Structure 1
Amino acid sequence: MNAASPSLSRGITQALAAAALFGVSTPLAKLLLGSVAPGMLAGLLYGGSGAGLLLWMLWRRTCASSSDEAPLARRDLPWLAAAVCFGGVLGPLLLMFGLMHTPASSASLLLNLESVLTAVLAWVVFRENVDRRVLLGMLAIVAGGALLSVQHFGLGGAAPGAAAIVGACLCWALDNNFTRPISGSDPVQIAGIKGAVAGSINIAIALASGYGFPAPFKIVAAGVLGAGYGVSLVLFVLALRSLGTARTGAYFSTAPFLGACVSLLLLGEHPAPAFWLAGALMALGVWLHVSERHEHEHVHEALAHNHRHRHDEHHQHDHDFPWDGKEPHTHPHTHEPLRHSHAHFPDLHHRHRHT
Structure 2
Amino acid sequence: MAANALASSWGVPAIVAACLCWAIDNNLTRKISASDAVQIAAVKGLVAGAVNLAIALATGQQLPAAWPAVGAALVGFCGYGLSLVLFVLALRHLGTARTGAYFLAAPFVGAALSSLLLRETPAGSFWLASALMAAGIWLHLTEHHEHKHTHEPLEHSHEHVHDEHHRHEHADDWNGHAPHAHSHRHEPITHAHAHTPDIHHRHPH
Q: TM-score range by the shorter chain?
A: 0.7 to 0.9
Contact (CA 8 Å) 1:304, 1:332: kept in 2 or not?
Answer: yes
Per the alignment, do residues 166 and 283 of structure 1 end up closer, same or farther by CA in structure 2, a change over 3 Å counting? farther
Alpha-carbon distance in 2 for matches of 1:208, 1:158: 24
Alpha-carbon distance in 2 for matches of 1:214, 1:266: 27
- Correspondent of 2:52 among 194, 202, 209: 202
- After TM superposition, give the deviation of residue 322 of structure 1 in Å: 4.2
SS in 1 for 2:182: strand
Partner of 2:34: 184
- After TM superposition, give the deviation of residue 259 of structure 1 in Å: 1.3
- After TM superposition, give the deviation of residue 276 of structure 1 in Å: 1.9
Write the deviation string for residues 162-182 of structure 1: whole angstroms up to 9, x where unpaired. 665554333222211110111
Unpaired segments ≥5 residues, structure 2:
1-7
Write the deviation string for residues 3-53 of structure 1: whole angstroms up to 9, x where unpaired. xxxxxxxxxxxxxxxxxxxxxxxxxxxxxxxxxxxxxxxxxxxxxxxxxxx
Alignment TM-score, normalising by the size of structure 1: 0.51
Alpha-carbon distance in 1 for matches of 2:116, 2:64: 26
SS in 2 for 1:217: helix
User: Which moved further from structure 2: 251-260 or 341-350?
Assistant: 251-260
Alpha-carbon distance in 1 for matches of 2:9, 2:141: 31
Report the AA paired with residue 212 of structure 1.
Answer: Q
Per the alignment, do residues 249 and 201 of structure 1 end up closer, same or farther by CA in structure 2, a change over 3 Å counting? same
Partner of 1:216: 66
Per the alignment, do residues 266 and 167 of structure 1 end up closer, same or farther by CA in structure 2, a change over 3 Å counting? farther
**1:254-293 to 2 correspondences below 5 Å:** 254-293=105-144
Report the AA paired with residue 192 of structure 1.
Answer: A
Unpaired segments ≥5 residues, structure 1:
1-156
- Look at both structures and tell me which one has the larger radius of gyration over its CA atoms: 2
Matched, 1:241 2:92: yes
**1:64-213 to 2 correspondences below 5 Å:** 160=11, 164-213=14-63
Report the AA paired with residue 301 of structure 1.
Answer: E
Contact (CA 8 Å) 2:37, 2:89: kept in 1 or not?
Answer: yes
Select the structure with the greater relative contact order (CA < 8 A; seq sep ≥ 6): 1
Contact (CA 8 Å) 2:156, 2:183: kept in 1 or not?
Answer: yes
SS in 1 for 2:144: coil
SS in 1 for 2:73: helix
